[in-house]
A and B are shown apart, each in its own frame.
Chain A
Amino acid sequence: MDKAMSIALRLPSSAVGSLTRERPAQELALRRRPSRWRRLGWTGTGALVFLPLLAVVAIVGPQLWTWTAFEQHMDALLQGPSLAHLLGTDEFGRDILARLLLGARWSLAGAAGICAGTSLLGFLIAALAVSGSRKMDAIVGRVIEAMMALPGLVTALAFAAILGASFTNLLLALVVTSWPWYARTYRALLLKERTALYVESAVAAGAGRWRVLLCHALPNIIGPAAVLATANFGAVILNLAGLSFLGLGMQPPTPEWGEMINEAARYFQDYPWQMIAPGLCIAATVLAVNLLGDALRDVADPRTR
Chain B
Amino acid sequence: MFAYILQRLVGALSVLFVVSVVSFGLYALTPGDPAVVLLEASGMHSPPREAVLAKRAELHMDDPLVLQYVHWLGGALQGDFGRSFRSYTPVAELYMSRIGATGLLAVCATALSVLIALPLGVLAAYRRGRLADSLAQIVVAAGGSMPGFWIGLLLVLVFAVNLHWLPAFGSPTPTGIILPAMVLAVANIAVLTRLTRSAVLDVLTQEYVTVAHAKGLAARPVTLKHVLPNVVVPVLTVLGLVFANLMVGTAVVEYVFAWPGIGRLAIDSALLRDQPVVVGFTVAAGLIFTVMNLLVDVGIAAIDPRVRSL
Contacts A161-B271, A265-B153 hold; do A151 and B285 have CB atoms under 8 A apart? yes
CB-CB < 8 A to A151: which residues of B?
A: 245, 248-249, 285-286, 289
A121–chain B nearest beta-carbon distance, Å: 15
B28–chain A nearest beta-carbon distance, Å: 10
Contact in complex: B285, A283 (CB < 8 Å): no
Contact in complex: A268, B153 (CB < 8 Å): yes
| Segment among B91-99, B176-184, B203-211, B276-284 that sits at the interface with chain A | B276-284
Select A149's contact among B31, B146, B256, B290, beta carbons within 8 Å: B290
Contact in complex: A157, B15 (CB < 8 Å): no
Select B271's contact among A238, A247, A258, beta carbons within 8 Å: A247
Residue interface bits B254-275, CB-to-A below 8 A is 1, else 0:
0110000000001101110101
B211–chain A nearest beta-carbon distance, Å: 25
Q: Is A290 an interface residue (CB 8 A)?
A: yes
* Interchain Cβ contacts within 8 Å, total number: 132
| Segment among B1-9, B18-26, B216-224 that sits at the interface with chain A | B18-26
CB-CB < 8 A to B141: which residues of A?
A: 287, 290-291
Interface set, chain B 281-310, CB cutoff 8 A to A: 281-282, 285-286, 289-290, 293
Residue interface bits B234-247, CB-to-A below 8 A is 1, else 0:
00000000000100
Contact in complex: A242, B252 (CB < 8 Å): yes
Select B145's contact among A164, A248, A287, beta carbons within 8 Å: A287
**Distance, CA A303 to CA B252, complexed state (A):** 36
Contacts A146-B14, A149-B286, A150-B285 hold; do A282 and B22 have CB atoms under 8 A apart? no
Q: Is A272 an interface residue (CB 8 A)?
A: yes
Contact in complex: B267, A162 (CB < 8 Å): no
Contact in complex: A245, B149 (CB < 8 Å): yes
Interface set, chain A 209-266, CB cutoff 8 A to B: 234, 238, 241-242, 245-248, 258, 261, 265
Q: Is B17 an interface residue (CB 8 A)?
A: yes
Select A283's contact among B142, B157, B256, B286, beta carbons within 8 Å: B142
**Distance, CA A269 to CA B1, complexed state (A):** 56
Contact in complex: B286, A162 (CB < 8 Å): no
**Distance, CA A163 to CA B32, complexed state (A):** 12
Minimum CB distance partner of A246 in chain B: B267
Minimum CB distance partner of A289 in chain B: B145
Contact in complex: B147, A161 (CB < 8 Å): no
Size category of the A interface is: 35 or more
**Distance, CA A149 to CA B249, complexed state (A):** 13
Contact in complex: A279, B147 (CB < 8 Å): yes
Size category of the B interface is: 35 or more
CB-CB < 8 A to B90: which residues of A?
A: none
Interface set, chain A 145-191, CB cutoff 8 A to B: 145-147, 149-151, 153-155, 157-165
Q: Is the interface of B mostly helix, strand, loop or mixed?
A: helix
**Distance, CA A275 to CA B15, complexed state (A):** 40
Q: Is B159 an interface residue (CB 8 A)?
A: no
CB-CB < 8 A to A245: which residues of B?
A: 147, 149, 252
B215–chain A nearest beta-carbon distance, Å: 30
> Which B residues have a C-beta under 8 Å from some C-beta of A?
11, 14-15, 17-19, 22, 26, 29-31, 141-142, 144-150, 153-154, 156-157, 161, 245, 248-249, 251-252, 255-256, 266-267, 269-271, 273, 275, 278-279, 281-282, 285-286, 289-290, 293
> Which A residues have a C-beta under 8 Å from some C-beta of B?
142-143, 145-147, 149-151, 153-155, 157-165, 234, 238, 241-242, 245-248, 258, 261, 265, 268-269, 272, 275-276, 279, 282-284, 286-287, 290-291
Ranked nearest first, the 3 interchain pairs of A and B with the lowest CB-CB distance are: A161-B270, A146-B18, A279-B150
In the assembled complex, 23 residue pairs joining A and B whose CB atoms fall closer than 8 Å, in A order, are A145-B14, A146-B15, A147-B18, A149-B293, A150-B286, A154-B248, A154-B251, A154-B266, A155-B22, A158-B26, A162-B26, A162-B29, A162-B31, A162-B275, A241-B147, A246-B271, A261-B153, A265-B256, A272-B157, A275-B153, A283-B146, A283-B150, A284-B145
| Besides A153-B249, A155-B22, A158-B266, 20 new A-B residue pairs in contact (Cβ under 8 A), listed by A number | A142-B14, A145-B11, A149-B19, A149-B286, A155-B26, A157-B270, A159-B26, A162-B31, A238-B147, A246-B255, A248-B270, A258-B147, A261-B147, A265-B256, A268-B153, A279-B146, A279-B154, A283-B146, A287-B141, A290-B144
